[in-house]
């Protein structure tokens, strides 16, 4: 990390002009933040682009600033792309501005240009220190560096069931269980099937120390080891009440991280977990608050001396950025054999709570294993979303795909065409010689079709209320990838073939896993849009949230979209936090090459007569016998 | 919902074998003016279930003098084609419901849109 020593001194006229322009631009941005700059020199200066919010740490910024003038105070508001500097005198501030304006700062791989302006005053509220959730205790330096090394070496990752390379490519945190296996499909433990490997012997000294210190009274019999790389996390959750006894202890090894505790009433408490520290969860912190680690590469932590409390993230003073490193946690728990009878029934599965996961929409679902689960998943992550975003969705889908139009244009005049999953009716009017009828699961979208003068009705693609063999042709464009089990996807194809008359043809389009084909990147990838809103990138072993406009790395995923319509029916519980727009997630199963053909091959009485890749989709044309 | 669409719809309630045609109970019907295209109408006729169309027209009180059976050489019979055009494409049910003839299950029509979604136990 270095900084170029070039302020406005010794710059050409052109360079000064550019800098002046940029400064002016920065004033507009700052105004939106409620910061008024002034052309008259004062002791207080705002440094645009020198903020925690754009990846600049306190140390990096101080290093650049102090090369010019001595700094009296530096305030870096969290999440903001600017900082406030106060100098000893107005003269000092003037000199700093002259020297530092337009100065480049090298932060990690980014070269950042700083723009300084005077401000009238810097006021920030002194926030009170936020207390830890009830029942939470953090003990620092619980193990020595030697003990840490022994524990880390005790984990044999290669003997775990998952394929290591698959894990790495899927960007999931690594997990290993001892004693009993924790299952992620039902968030519970198989209490009748203890694992062959009990807790490793290397853990005994640590556990004995816990008992001796009075942190636990019973020896745990279950251990989950989680390894997080930078950028990985775990979604907010409450550990299943019925699975484990009250006290849960978690030893953090390797790099420090920030764990966030959330209370049902919305309070959020971030807690720094330094390496070699032990976290003890009891009471509310164990039973009521959720805990999670946001997948990030940097955390905001106090820029403190080693002796100040690590948990003191409550005040906004003196924060800096801490780059994440590899962290391994050892979470020890005792299996519970009786139902839980805690004082927190709202989050207790023994006392009737639906799920141990927080009720917020931020906990991602798992892949369904039965029809009822599939229906629920699709209701939440397909139907409700389309109904909520119908008008926005419709406005972004107005260009019919050429290959689909071509298929439609080849149909003889007077052919009866069914568009199953017609959306906003994009294809219903393409060939006016056809007798078309559309159907869609979304009432809101069908209304748009009817408003446009098309005939459409509301129905499910798994049960289309059209008579058998009544259609000359049908199309299903970007529909079947919303079904969450292979059986349902097959049933959808069966319905399409049922309504076809003999020799009738069906055209099916589904989103492809392979977005690049024949060295051609699909339009979806080509347009790189910077998405500042996207904070939610959890991964779990089942359904991950996709980052838009990038290649897919799993087949079953949730794709975020932001509702930017002014009048949105927020049917979903997604509440805007910090003024952000609600993020809706749509479930997709993206198809691999050959998968759609193979699916259609399972349907009797129909054959695939053409299959191709079109703009990031796998496509087939089926013909009924 | 136009009668052309109604002619294609059927009840898909589980276990029902005679779900076609659906009975129409209309509370609001509208007649629009749609451009007459004789070739288009003529091509539609072979795709239709004629008796179901006549029954539907009756139920709506718009049968007028639509014959109970298809006339021969309808392709060239412009008068006939005009009658078919009117009943198929100009008469529209805006509010009401469609009823399964076997199970009695009613599917609502609202703002011209039939909602054919089944409950979990009917699918």
Do the Cβ atoms of B12 and A464 come within 8 Å? yes
Q: What is the pLDDT of residue A360?
A: 35
Closest Cβ opposite residue A457 in set B11, B116, B120:
B116
Say if strands A544-545 and A556-562 run parallel, antiparallel, or are unpaired.
parallel
Closest Cβ opposite residue B12 in set A375, A450, A463:
A463
**Residue of A435, A469, A492 for testing the chain B interface, max B β-carbons within 10 Å:** A435
What CA–CA distance (Å, rounded) separates A315 from A130?
Answer: 8
| Confidence check: pLDDT of A540 > 70 | no
- Distance (Å) from the alpha carbon of B65 to chain A's nearest alpha carbon: 25
Do the Cβ atoms of A446 and B20 come within 8 Å? no
Do the Cβ atoms of A457 and B11 come within 8 Å? no
Closest Cβ opposite residue A459 in set B1, B116, B120:
B116
Tell me what the mean pLDDT of segment A160-183 comes to.
Answer: 66
Domains of chain B: 3-114 (2.20.25.10)
HEC readout, A324-374: CCCEEEEEEECECCCCCCCCCHHHCCCCCCCCCCCCCCCCCCCCCCCHHHH
Do the Cβ atoms of A458 and B9 come within 8 Å? no
Read off the pLDDT band of A26 (50, 70, 90). confident
- Please report, rounded to a whole number, the percentage of residues in chain B having pLDDT higher than 70: 100
Q: What is the pLDDT of residue A232?
A: 86
Residue B77 burial by CB count (10 A; 0-12/13-18/19+): exposed, middle or buried? middle
**Residue of B74, B114, B115, B120 for testing the chain A interface, max A β-carbons within 10 Å:** B114
How many other C-beta atoms are found inside a 10 Å radius of the C-beta of residue A186? Answer: 15
* Contact B121/A at CB under 8 A: no
Q: A124-128, A159-163, A202-206, A578-582 — which is least confidently predicted?
A: A578-582
CB A196 within 8 A of CB A156: no
Higher confidence at residue A230 or residue A206? A206
Instruction: Specify the length of chain B in residues.
Output: 123
Q: What is the pLDDT of residue A538?
A: 34
* Contact B51/A at CB under 8 A: no
Do the Cβ atoms of B4 and A460 come within 8 Å? no
User: What is the value of ipTM here, to two decimals?
Assistant: 0.96
Higher confidence at residue B82 or residue B122? B82
C-alpha distances in Å from residue A447, one per residue of A390, A455, B109: 10, 10, 12
**Residue of A371, A412, A445, A455 for testing the chain B interface, max B β-carbons within 10 Å:** A455
Which range scores top for mean pLDDT: A37-51, A189-203, A575-589, B43-57?
Answer: B43-57
> Closest residue of A to B114, CA-based?
A457
Do the Cβ atoms of B111 and A446 come within 8 Å? no
Do the Cβ atoms of B8 and A467 come within 8 Å? yes
DSSP tally for chain B: helices H, then strands E: 4, 4
Structure letter (DSSP) for residue A379: I
Q: What is the pLDDT of residue A463?
A: 94
Tell me what the mean pLDDT of segment A469-492 comes to.
Answer: 95
- According to CATH, where is 3.30.70.330 located in chain A? 13-118
Instruction: Specify the length of chain A in residues.
Output: 625
Tell me what the mean pLDDT of segment A49-74 comes to.
Answer: 89
Helix (H, G, I), strand (E, B) or coil at A57: coil
- Using only the alpha carbons of chain B, give its radius of gyration: 15
Q: A142-146, A405-409, B73-77 — which is least confidently predicted?
A: B73-77
A interface toward B at CB cutoff 8 Å? 375, 413-414, 416, 433, 435, 437, 439, 441, 443, 446-447, 450, 455-460, 462-467, 470, 472
How many other C-beta atoms are found inside a 10 Å radius of the C-beta of residue A348? Answer: 21
Do the Cβ atoms of A463 and B9 come within 8 Å? no
Q: A72-81, A359-368, A449-458, A497-506 — which is least confidently predicted?
A: A359-368
Task: Indicate the fold that domain A13-118 takes in CATH.
Answer: Alpha-Beta Plaits (3.30.70)
* Contact B116/A at CB under 8 A: yes
- According to CATH, where is 2.60.120.1520 located in chain A? 136-301+316-345
Q: pTM here? A: 0.52
Q: What is the mean pLDDT of chain A?
A: 82
Do the Cβ atoms of B115 and A443 come within 8 Å? yes
Nearest one of A616, A609, A592, A625 to A407, comparing CA atoms: A609
| Confidence check: pLDDT of B6 > 50 | yes
| Confidence check: pLDDT of A599 > 50 | yes
Nearest one of A480, A512, A523, A521 to A612, comparing CA atoms: A512
- Please report, rounded to a whole number, the percentage of residues in chain B having pLDDT higher than 90: 81
Task: Indicate the fold that domain A371-515+594-624 takes in CATH.
Answer: Rossmann fold (3.40.50)
Contacts of A296 (CB under 8 A, 6+ apart): A231, A233, A324
* Contact B40/A at CB under 8 A: yes
* Contact B117/A at CB under 8 A: yes
Nearest one of A323, A333, A616 to A481, comparing CA atoms: A616
Tell me what the mean pLDDT of segment A161-186 comes to.
Answer: 67
Q: How far is CA B85 from the centre of its chain?
A: 12
Tell me what the mean pLDDT of segment A555-561 comes to.
Answer: 81
- Using only the alpha carbons of chain A, give its radius of gyration: 29
User: Tokens at residue A585, please?
Assistant: 């997630």
> Closest residue of B to A469, CA-based?
B8
Q: What is the pLDDT of residue A171?
A: 59
Tell me what the mean pLDDT of segment A424-440 comes to.
Answer: 94
- What strands, in cross-sheet order, belong to the sheet with A556-562? A544-545, A556-562, A583-589
What CA–CA distance (Å, rounded) separates A414 from A420?
Answer: 18
Q: What is the pLDDT of residue A77?
A: 84
- According to CATH, where is 3.40.50.150 located in chain A? 371-515+594-624
Higher confidence at residue A320 or residue A221? A221
Helix (H, G, I), strand (E, B) or coil at A273: strand
- Distance (Å) from the alpha carbon of B38 to chain A's nearest alpha carbon: 12
Read off the pLDDT band of A149 (50, 70, 90). very high
| Confidence check: pLDDT of A519 > 80 | no
- Tell me: the pLDDT tens digits for A219-269? 999 999 999 988 888 888 899 999 999 999 999 999 999 999 988 877 888
| Phi, psi values for residue A238, rounded to 5° | -110, 135
Do the Cβ atoms of B114 and A457 come within 8 Å? yes
HEC readout, A529-554: CCCCCCCCCCCCCCCEECCCCCCCCC
H or E stretch covering A393: helix A384-395
Do the Cβ atoms of B1 and A457 come within 8 Å? yes
| Confidence check: pLDDT of B36 > 80 | yes
What CA–CA distance (Å, rounded) separates A216 from A333?
Answer: 10
* The CATH number of the domain covering residues in A136-301+316-345: 2.60.120.1520
Structure letter (DSSP) for residue A122: -
CB A251 within 8 A of CB A333: no
Read off the pLDDT band of A159 (50, 70, 90). low
How many other C-beta atoms are found inside a 10 Å radius of the C-beta of residue A116? Answer: 29
| Confidence check: pLDDT of A144 > 70 | yes
Helix (H, G, I), strand (E, B) or coil at A304: coil
| Confidence check: pLDDT of A565 > 80 | no
CB A201 within 8 A of CB A223: no
> Closest residue of B to A470, CA-based?
B8
């Amino acid at each position: 990390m270095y900084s170029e020593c070039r302020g406005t001194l010794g710059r050409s006229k052109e360079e000064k002009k550019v800098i002046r322009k940029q400064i002016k631009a920065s004033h507009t941005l700052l105004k939106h933040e409620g910061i008024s700059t002034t052309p008259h020199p004062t002791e207080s200066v705002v440094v645009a682009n020198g903020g925690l919010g754009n990846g600049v740490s306190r140390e990096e910024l101080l290093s650049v600033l102090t090369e010019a003038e001595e700094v009296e105070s530096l305030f870096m508001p969290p999440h903001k792309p600017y900082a406030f500097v106060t100098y000893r005198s107005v003269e000092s501030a003037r000199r700093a501005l002259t020297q530092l304006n337009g100065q480049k700062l090298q932060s990690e791989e980014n070269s950042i240009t700083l723009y300084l302006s005077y401000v009238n005053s810097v006021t920030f509220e002194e926030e009170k220190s936020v207390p830890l959730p009830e029942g939470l205790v953090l003990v620092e330096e619980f193990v020595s560096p030697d003990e840490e090394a022994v524990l880390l070496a005790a984990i044999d990752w290669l003997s775990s069931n998952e394929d290591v390379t698959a894990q790495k490519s899927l960007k999931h945190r690594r997990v290993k269980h001892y004693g009993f296996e924790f299952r992620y499909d039902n968030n519970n433990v198989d209490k009748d099937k203890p694992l062959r490997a009990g807790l490793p012997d290397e853990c005994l000294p640590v556990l004995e120390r816990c008992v001796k210190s009075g942190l636990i009274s019973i020896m745990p019999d279950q251990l989950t080891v989680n390894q997080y790389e930078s950028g990985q996390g775990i979604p907010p959750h409450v550990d299943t009440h019925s699975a484990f006894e009250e006290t849960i202890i978690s030893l953090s090894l390797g790099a420090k991280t920030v764990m966030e505790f959330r209370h049902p009433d919305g309070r959020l408490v971030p807690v720094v977990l330094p390496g070699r520290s032990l976290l003890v969860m009891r009471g509310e912190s164990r039973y009521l608050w959720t805990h999670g680690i946001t997948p990030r590469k940097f955390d905001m932590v106090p820029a403190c001396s080693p002796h100040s409390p690590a948990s003191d993230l409550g005040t906004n003073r003196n924060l800096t950025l801490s780059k994440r490193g590899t962290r391994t946690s050892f979470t020890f728990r005792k299996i519970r054999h009786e139902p839980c009878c805690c004082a927190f029934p709202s989050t207790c599965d023994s006392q009737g709570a639906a799920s141990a996961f927080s009720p917020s929409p931020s906990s991602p679902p798992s892949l369904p294993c039965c029809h009822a689960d599939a229906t629920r998943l699709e209701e939440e992550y397909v139907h409700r979303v389309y109904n909520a975003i119908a008008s926005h969705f419709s406005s972004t889908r107005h260009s019919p795909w050429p290959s689909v139009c071509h298929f439609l244009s080849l149909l003889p005049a007077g052919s009866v065409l069914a568009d199953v999953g017609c959306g906003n009716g994009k294809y219903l009017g393409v060939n006016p010689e056809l007798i078309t009828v559309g159907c869609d699961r979304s009432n809101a979208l069908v209304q748009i079709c009817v408003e446009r003068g098309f005939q459409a009705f509301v129905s499910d693609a798994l049960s289309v209320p059209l008579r058998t063999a009544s259609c000359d042709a049908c199309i299903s464009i970007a529909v079947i990838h919303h079904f969450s089990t292979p059986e349902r996807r097959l049933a959808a194809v069966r319905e399409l073939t049922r309504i076809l008359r003999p020799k009738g043809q069906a055209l099916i389009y589904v989103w492809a896993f392979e977005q690049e084909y024949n060295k051609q990147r699909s339009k979806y990838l080509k347009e790189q849009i910077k998405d500042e809103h996207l904070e939610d990138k959890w991964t779990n072993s089942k359904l991950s949230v996709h980052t838009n406009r990038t290649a897919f790395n799993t087949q079953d995923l949730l794709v975020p979209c932001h509702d930017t319509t002014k009048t949105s029916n927020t049917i979903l519980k997604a509440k805007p936090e910090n003024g952000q727009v609600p993020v809706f997630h749509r479930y997709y199963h993206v198809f691999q090459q050959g998968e759609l053909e193979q699916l259609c091959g399972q349907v009797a009485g129909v054959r695939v007569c053409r299959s191709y890749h079109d703009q990031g989709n796998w496509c087939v044309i089926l013909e009924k016998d | 919902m136009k009668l052309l669409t109604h002619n294609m719809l059927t009840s898909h309630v589980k276990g029902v074998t005679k779900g076609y045609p659906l009975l129409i109970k209309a509370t609001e019907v509208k007649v629009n003016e749609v451009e007459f295209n004789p070739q288009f109408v003529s091509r539609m006729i072979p795709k239709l279930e004629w008796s179901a169309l006549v029954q539907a027209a009756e139920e709506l009180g718009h049968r007028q003098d639509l014959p109970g059976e298809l006339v021969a050489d309808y392709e060239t019979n412009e008068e006939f084609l005009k009658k078919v055009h009117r009943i198929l494409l100009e008469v529209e049910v805006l509010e009401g419901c469609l009823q399964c003839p076997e199970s009695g299950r009613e599917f609502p029509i609202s703002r011209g849109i039939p909602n054919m979604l089944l409950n979990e136990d009917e699918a």
